Structures are given as C-alpha cells and as structure tokens.
Amino acid sequence: MKAVTGSLMRCKLAKGGSDTFTGRSGSANTFFGDAGGTMSGHAQGGDDEAVFAGNAPFNVRVPNFAYGDALTMTGNAVGGNDRLTGGAATGDVLNQFYGDAKSMSDSAHGGNDTLTGGNATGPGTVTNILFGDAESLSGSAKGGDDILYAGTAAAGSTVTNDMWGDGQLSGGAQGGADLFVFKDSGSMTVGTHNTIEDFSQAQQDKIEFAGVTGVQSFANLVVAQSGTDTVITAGADQITLHNFSSALTANDFLFA
C-alpha cells in the first residue's frame, strides 16, 4: 500500500501547500492532501490534486482512499479546493474519496472540491464512493460547493457511483450547493447503478446530464417515486435520489 501525506501536518495555524499525487497502479493507495491526522484551530488546507488509475490484479479488489485535506477537521479549520480523480481501470477497484476529511466538526469549513469517479474500461467493477466534504459533519461545520462527476463503464463492465454532496449532517451543520454530473462519452456510460444520497433543493443542489443520448431537457427525463426514493431515468442511465420525495422541476437540472 502506498500512503502519501501532503505538506501540512497536525497544526493549528499553518497553511498547506498545493500538492500533487499520482496513485500506483495495481496496489492500494491512501492520500491525505495536507494532514494525515487532524487539522484544527485556524489551519488552512492547500489546493491539492490526486489521480488514481490502473488495473487490479485478477481476483483482487484494489482500494484507493483520498482525503482532500485531513482525516479529521475541527475548530475553525478550512479545507482547500481539491481535485480527486479516479482514472481508467480494469478489474475490481474501489475509489473512496473525501473532498475535505472523513469527519468535520466545530466550525470547520469545507473547500469547493471536485471529485471524479473512476471509469471501468475492462472486465470488472469500479465502485466510486464520493463525499464532497466528509462522511459526517457536526456542530457548526459547513460544507463547500462541490462538483461530483460519476464514473462511467464500457460495455461488459460495471461502475457503481454512490455520491454525497456533503455527507451526513447533524447538530447545526450545513451543506453547500453541490453539482452532480452524469456525463456519457460514446460507449462509456454512467449506467444504472447511481445513487445521490443527500440531494437537497434547499441547498440549491443541481444535477447535470451531459452527452446522454436523447436527453437535452427536463422533458426527456422520466421521474418516478419508488418507496421513499426518487428514480430518474435519463436515456439508458438511471439515478436514484435516496430518501427524496419532493417534486423535481426543470430548475433542479442542467443539460450539456
């Protein structure tokens, strides 16, 4: 396993630099943009970038974990504007990305991050679990305005995209205005295994469809309720909004 930590270690006042990391193909990778432990006080994260790509050995699942800033953020720590990208892969690969940290508490503030799921280009399954900010936000923590791109899959391959614009909010924590992008490119499509866990109209979240055959406007979408979830069918692609039952309108979507 390759583990890399950026320029800011456990510190209360420092500001991290802008670090770049490229994951090692075929082996597990863990990346911390600024601190492998805790960012606290008034620490600020840098604008970091990590790219993961490569093939998994036969019958082995390769995990990639990336934290845009740190494992935890407390106090008045502020995350940088980070870019975490899962590249093309064959075999079974897990990409689990946190735009800022695994947990944010107190008055920590997330950056405006861009997370891109990995693409399944050959036999196997690529699983993308994307948190725009953190797995959990508590206290007065505030999420950033993040962009999450779903991964795609070629014919005969499978991609699963589980997406959180912010994360699980508790106490007085607030989410940001996030954008979820589903972009097909030729034979590479996002498919039907896509879930947005925390879509929020109150936070002005948006969903964008790009390059999806036959989908140019809200009128081309089929929206249906399934229990407590809302299911959106866009051409051959499908997205589930978990625990969402409000009426969707054209204002919730973008098309390209």
Q: What is the pTM of this model?
A: 0.93
Question: Rounded distance, CA 91 to CA 93, Å?
Answer: 6
Q: What residue has token string 């969707």?
A: 248
pLDDT one-digit tens code per residue, 163-172: 999 999 999 9
Count of Cβ atoms closer than 10 Å to residue 117 Cβ? 28
Q: Which of 130, 114, 187 is nearest to 153 (CA)?
A: 187
For residue 1, the model assigns a pLDDT of: 46
The answer to whether the beta carbons of residues 181 and 146 sit under 8 Å apart is no
For residue 107, the model assigns a pLDDT of: 98
pLDDT one-digit tens code per residue, 189-233: 999 999 999 999 999 999 999 999 999 999 999 999 999 999 999
Count of Cβ atoms closer than 10 Å to residue 76 Cβ? 17
What does the block give as tokens for 190?
């996002």
For residue 4, the model assigns a pLDDT of: 52
- Over range 82-110, report the average pLDDT: 97
Strands 88-89 and 61-67, bridge-based pairing: unpaired
